[in-house]
Amino acid sequence: MKLNRNTVFLGVTIVFAFLMGAIVFSPWASLEAQSGGGDWQTVMTERGFTDEDVYAALSTYNPSGVYDEFVMFASGGHSGQVFAIGLPSMNVLRTIAVFTPEPWQGYGFGAGEEVLDGGNMDGQEVRWGDTHHPALSETGGQYDGQYLFINDKANGRVAVIDLRDFETKQIINNPLYVNDHALFATPSTDYVIQGGQYAQPIGGDYAPMADYAESFVGIVTMWKFDREAGRIDADNSFALELPPYWQDLCDAGKQVSEGWIFCNTFNTELALGGIESGNPPFEAGASRNTTDYMHIINYRAAEELFLAGEYEVVNGMAVITLETLVENNVIFNTPEPRSPHGVDVAPYGDFIVVSGKLDPHTSIYSFDKMMAAIEAGPTELDPFGIPILAFEDVIEAQVEVGLGPLHTQFDDQGYAYTSLFLDSAVARWSLGGDNYRPQDGWSLIETIPVQYNVGHIAVAEGDTVSPAGNYLVSLNKWSVDRFLNTGPLLPQNLQLIDIGADRDNMQMLYDMPLGMGEPHYAQIMRADRLNTWEVYPEVGWDPATQSVDERAVAPGEEGITRDGNTVYVNQTAIRSHFTPEIVNINEGEHVVWTITNIERAKDATHGFAIPYYGINLSIEPGESITFEFDADKGGVFTWYCTEFCSALHLEMMGYLLVQP
């Protein structure tokens, strides 16, 4: 429910009157005195709150046991994780471990290694990531609550998270490229698309900078998603070779533009950097041109080329060459204003909004006009042979929004919102098209300051075909003076802004410090779209396969068996004991140890940790985990349950005796 301000104040007045009555006439009066509590108006006066402050506080407060209406999935930046955050409370509900081992979830300490190993690069273990763009799975262009994808910008990898248990199921390494930037799903999530960032020789080859124009390329990868299996299907995925511009953000067309993707580029100058040799640094060299290009790509046509076998294979991955793309009219360019960054498709798919970091306007392109210009047959070509659609032929409008515009999201009222990095503000402007607010035309409505240096913004369901509106979160890069000082490294600031239809102006509601990595981008979904399990469906569940594990241990079947040098420990866990409790093995044996949590009670998670051997598990109700290690050190090792699960939790322990 969205709060209307008048209702809030009416409600507060009634509660206040009721409390006053209670204080005078009832036993509550003594309670009130005993607790030393006061009325809310005293608190308001003592803490110097304004009416707006009280409105903001009441808008975000969740009494105990009340759930949030929305859940935001925010990338965790260099933490390598994803954060699930409730709205409007802005409470962190959970970290989802993705690219970085995470002890609380037992991810990477005896369990989860296979998933992490999926992201190894040429056999090299990489145990961190820069999570950048979360992409929720969609059906019909709206989030369906089933899967979440996230990319690792630093190492060019993509992960798949199953939202039934909020666990990472797959990490896939791109064999063509070591970095990426964009990640987004098509409206039906048949593809998850990984955009590139910095050009490089394809497939990890070496080439000197002097060969940049000939040997470096851009890449966009179309990962086929198998929804049934819940995995990316690399064998049916393919990549597109692009010019060595730096591809930046991309977005998928939707509704009228479904089947197309739009990618910004910068460094169309092909700057080579080299400040140390007296060359212009990249920041200057890559910003010389007044325009760069948007790639307009018909991915359905590219898919047909792939299915027809029109590709080359690099490191086992299908790559459609730029030449083939151009010959088959798959790719077109159109100019974009200075240093383009965000590219965002409007809910009906009819407009594509681009912001240039060094241009105070957003530029709105018409998909219809693009199609007409392609039909008319463009005559100009870029240096790589890609046809160029003239800017005048495809532009619909430009709106002056402020300095440093980056990213745009949409609401349910026909407004667009654009982050302004240099102004540290968010602009609300009206989309003049027939599907939006023709009554207001293409015009700036208002701006609201944010603290400070906003990158992305997220509106509730604001990048889907049917935005919810209600709230906007500003993901600010700097917090400067907003919070208690934590030394030279400060938290990021996520600010919650009320953009509800019942308010005339945007209002700041909440500042949320996040000291766990840079939350780069976020998507906000209605919480009721989630279909998350309360406990695993059956006892003995293996979250890696989402089915019962044949190694799972049933009560009564516990024990220790041997096969040659391998010792199998089969154990169950239930409050407040493990069975068996004493495990005797010999130094030098290989240990295969299975623990099945046979609990069916919600939240009855048991932990399990063995010192020295680096084992640390979280075994959720119904879950079965098998881990292995070589018992290479003799001694007596105590283990214990690391979750405070019951009154006798301290007794939930045991001994591993490794006899030399």
Nearest to 362 by CA among 305, 430, 303: 430
Asked if 357 interacts with ligand RUQ (CB under 6 A), we say no
Length of the chain in residues, anyone?
A: 660
CA 143/CA 146 separation, integer angstroms: 8
Which residue is associated with the tokens 């290009």? 293
Q: What angle (nearest 5°) sits at the alpha carbon of residue 141, between those of residues 140 and 143? A: 100
Which residue is associated with the tokens 């001694």? 635
Asked if 133 interacts with ligand RUQ (CB under 6 A), we say yes
Binding site for ligand CUA (CB under 6 A): 606, 641, 643-645, 649, 652
Asked if 263 interacts with ligand RUQ (CB under 6 A), we say no
Asked if 456 interacts with ligand RUQ (CB under 6 A), we say yes
Q: Which does 643 bind (CB under 5 to 8 A by kind): ligand RUQ, ligand CUA, none?
A: ligand CUA
Which residue number, 181 or 295, has a Cβ lying nearer to ligand RUQ? 181
Q: Which does 520 bind (CB under 5 to 8 A by kind): ligand RUQ, ligand CUA, none?
A: ligand RUQ
Which residue number, 132 or 428, has a Cβ lying nearer to ligand RUQ? 132
Q: Which does 341 bind (CB under 5 to 8 A by kind): ligand RUQ, ligand CUA, none?
A: ligand RUQ
Give the DSSP per-residue string, 630-658. E--S-EEEEEE--S--STTGGG-EEEEEE
As beta bridge partners, residue 575 has none
Six token digits for residue 452: 């400070």
CB of residue 606 to ligand CUA, shortest distance in Å: 4
Q: Which does 455 bind (CB under 5 to 8 A by kind): ligand RUQ, ligand CUA, none?
A: ligand RUQ
Q: Which does 295 bind (CB under 5 to 8 A by kind): ligand RUQ, ligand CUA, none?
A: none
- The DSSP secondary-structure symbol of 217 reads B
424 with 450: CB under 8 angstroms?
yes
Number of residue whose CB is nearest ligand RUQ: 455
Rounded to the nearest angstrom, the gap between the alpha carbon of residue 373 and the centroid of all alpha carbons in its chain is 35
Of the residues 85, 249, 465, 468, which one makes contact with ligand RUQ according to CB under 6 A: 249
Six token digits for residue 353: 């909004």
| Strands across the sheet containing 70-75 | 92-96, 82-87, 70-75, 522-526, 454-460, 469-476, 492-498, 507-514
CB of residue 623 to ligand CUA, shortest distance in Å: 13
Binding residues for ligand RUQ restricted to 394-413, rule: CB under 6 A: 406-407
With 0-12 / 13-18 / 19 or more C-beta atoms within 10 angstroms meaning exposed / middle / buried, residue 215 is middle
Q: Which does 641 bind (CB under 5 to 8 A by kind): ligand RUQ, ligand CUA, none?
A: ligand CUA
Which residue number, 474 or 605, has a Cβ lying nearer to ligand CUA? 605
With 0-12 / 13-18 / 19 or more C-beta atoms within 10 angstroms meaning exposed / middle / buried, residue 187 is buried
Asked if 77 interacts with ligand RUQ (CB under 6 A), we say no
CB of residue 452 to ligand CUA, shortest distance in Å: 44
Which residue number, 245 or 578, has a Cβ lying nearer to ligand CUA? 578
Binding residues for ligand RUQ restricted to 139-198, rule: CB under 6 A: 181
User: What is the x/- site pattern for ligand RUQ, positions 324-343, by CB under 6 A?
Assistant: -----------------x--
Residues of this chain that interact with ligand RUQ (CB under 6 A) are 132-133, 181, 249, 341, 406-407, 455-456, 520-521
